[in-house]
Chains A and B, each alone.
Chain A
């Protein structure tokens, strides 16, 4: 088990390094000059050259990349002379726009994105699993057909459409709640839930539809397994046959999917956050991309890869915990 973990962690490190290198190259090859970005619009050419020198942009690509990676672990002194600033661990550089450390920017935004992702996941899991299991157990009845038709419809709705409709109906027409704005959980738990309810629902609906369909087919498949028949042949009650012998294996692939989806969403749900004006990592990414704020975009790309890769590992560990065959002896 320890060997397995070490191998996996090493794999994660290598993957992250590759992601980092690829992202770095893309930005290096982009036509816009970070020095101009940093210096400003009406910067004289000699000043741009000076900034380029200070930012270390004249060094070869590999040296720049080395400095970037090293800084993440060891911090780095950026600029030189009177412009020198100490960028502390973990250093992802400074935003061109705000001048704040990228790490701080991301960490400020993370709770919002995490609140959105986790809350939405709870909703889509409850909805998706319930609908999927119900459909599977009532296979080919009108209940099943209704649920399946509904999931196709919901899955086809684009997020921005759902968001607009929800906002219009719930906020504008019915006036059930004020326009959502982000309230930290620690400040006001009730306000947190109330304000996130619409974004959660928006994000959760599409996922719920997909999860319902996945769950249905997975449960139907599992209930046809010989070991479920064995459970019946033992004379177990139907509830136990389905609950203990059928559902557990059926939900294993759902756990995999959840890990991947949640990992991806932790680093920001771009469209949902933008639509509801939530100050999350996704919104930060969209804004930074529009302004070519390279250090922020790089930082968020790495953060997102980190979450996805890590959640992959977590999924594998959970898998080994659920399915004894997956345990490495």
Chain B
């Protein structure tokens, strides 16, 4: 059975300015031992998606289907989802300095989760906290467990955050920008740690990032999001070598290259991400899309008529662009 299956997920927020459709029509699945990378820029809905899977949206309307080992979570009693949170699926947040509680020691924060889910004693849960801190490579874990988050370095804090996620031996870990706040060297260490744990324990992992470098390093499967919609999905290698969607191509071309000729300008996608309050009609990307810009009026109607869903191509590649066959 697939570990996690998400179908037609949509999240709506009601704000003072109107209803914001943060994400819509998201489908993906994660198997044990597999890493799914979700990539997109700020506001693309990647974090909203991950919080929806964890059932952490409060005051938002979440529809569609999230199945964890076959159990439907959308519309399930809060208590059912709470028992899964932390225990079977755990989350690693972006900035461990703000995501860890400043008033409690690292050990206490990890032990608390263990006590909640396993009914363990203070002594047992503390021992478990020290153990996982050791697992993630924190030196002198017994001593450091008694320290507060502000006494840890950035990399160590992120490891502690991962230790917290691991403490109850979950089956799925969702890491939301786990390395964004870190130096490149520390970033590599943290990613390697996640991958090692995935292999050793057969975890399913979702890595959410705006950093294509991180995706290239860890992901088996990649979902590209734009303006609250999924625009392309493929195996990591395929996506990087043969991207289909104009947005994905734009992203890849925007990466600075060392082998570029001197004086060659950096590529950028023109324009700004769409407003989710009043998204563009049809394909959300069309106002910034080079294919749309190059098309004549008759062809353009294809792009603006309706929001194109991800369509499965013969090779397992999924693409939402209605015109990409012509441009491939």
Contacts and interface: CB of A to CB of B under 8 A. Distances in A.
Are chains A and B native binding partners rather than an unrelated pairing?
Answer: yes
Interface string A60-78: 0000000000000000000
Interface string A237-259: 11010000100110000000000
Contacts of B84: 235
A109 interface: no
Nearest to B95: A226
A229 interface: yes
B242 interface: no
Nearest to A223: B58
A88 interface: no
B122 interface: no
- Interface SS, A side: helix
Which of A235, A237, A245, A322 has its CB near the most chain B CB atoms (within 10 A)? A235
Nearest to B110: A234
A226 B99 contact: yes
Contacts of B112: 234, 236
- Interface SS, B side: mixed
A273 B181 CA distance: 57
Contacts of A225: 98
A58 interface: no
Contacts of A227: 98-102
B113 A232 contact: no
B150 interface: yes
A244 B27 CA distance: 36
Interface string B64-87: 000000000000001000111111
B28 to A, nearest CB: 20
Interface string B92-110: 0101001111110000000
Contacts of B85: 232-235
Contact of B54 (A233, A237, A249): A233
A216 B85 CA distance: 28
Nearest to A323: B103
Interface in B105-142: 112-113, 116-117
B90 A233 contact: yes
Contacts of B100: 227, 230
Contacts of A322: 103
Interface in B15-54: 54
B255 interface: no
B56 interface: yes
B172 interface: no
B87 A323 contact: no
Chain A, interface size category, equals 20 to 34
A234 B101 contact: no
Contacts of A229: 56, 93, 99
A230 B99 contact: yes
Nearest to A241: B82
Contact of A323 (B90, B102, B113): B102
A233 B165 CA distance: 9
B91 interface: yes
A235 B99 contact: no
B164 interface: yes
A226 B93 contact: yes
Which of A227, A229, A245 has its CB near the most chain B CB atoms (within 10 A)? A227
A249 B98 CA distance: 13
A81 interface: no
A147 B95 CA distance: 36
Contacts of B83: 235
Given A235-B82, A235-B85, A236-B112, A230 B102 contact: no
Contacts of A323: 102-103
Given A227-B98, A227-B102, A324 B90 contact: no
Given A226-B95, A226-B98, A324-B150, A233 B103 contact: no
Contact of B86 (A235, A245, A325): A235
A286 interface: no
Contacts of B56: 229, 232-233
A227 B98 CA distance: 6
A248 B78 CA distance: 24
A230 B87 contact: no
B94 to A, nearest CB: 8
B13 interface: no
B110 to A, nearest CB: 9
Given A232-B56, A232-B85, A325-B150, A237 B99 contact: no
B11 to A, nearest CB: 15
B148 interface: yes
A238 B98 CA distance: 20
A135 to B, nearest CB: 16
Contacts of A248: 103
A226 to B, nearest CB: 4
Nearest to A249: B103
Given A227-B99, A227-B102, A245-B101, A234 B148 contact: no
Contacts of A324: 102-103, 148, 150
Nearest to A236: B116
Given A226-B93, A229-B93, A324-B150, A234 B113 contact: yes
B82 A230 contact: no
Given A227-B102, A229-B93, A234-B85, 5 more contacts: A227-B101, A229-B56, A230-B91, A233-B56, A233-B85
22 contacts: A225-B98, A227-B101, A227-B102, A229-B93, A229-B99, A230-B101, A231-B101, A233-B56, A233-B91, A234-B85, A234-B86, A234-B90, A234-B113, A235-B83, A235-B85, A235-B113, A236-B82, A249-B103, A323-B103, A324-B102, A324-B103, A324-B148
Q: Which 9 interchain pairs have the tightest Cβ spacing?
A: A235-B86, A235-B85, A234-B86, A234-B113, A227-B101, A226-B98, A324-B148, A233-B91, A226-B99
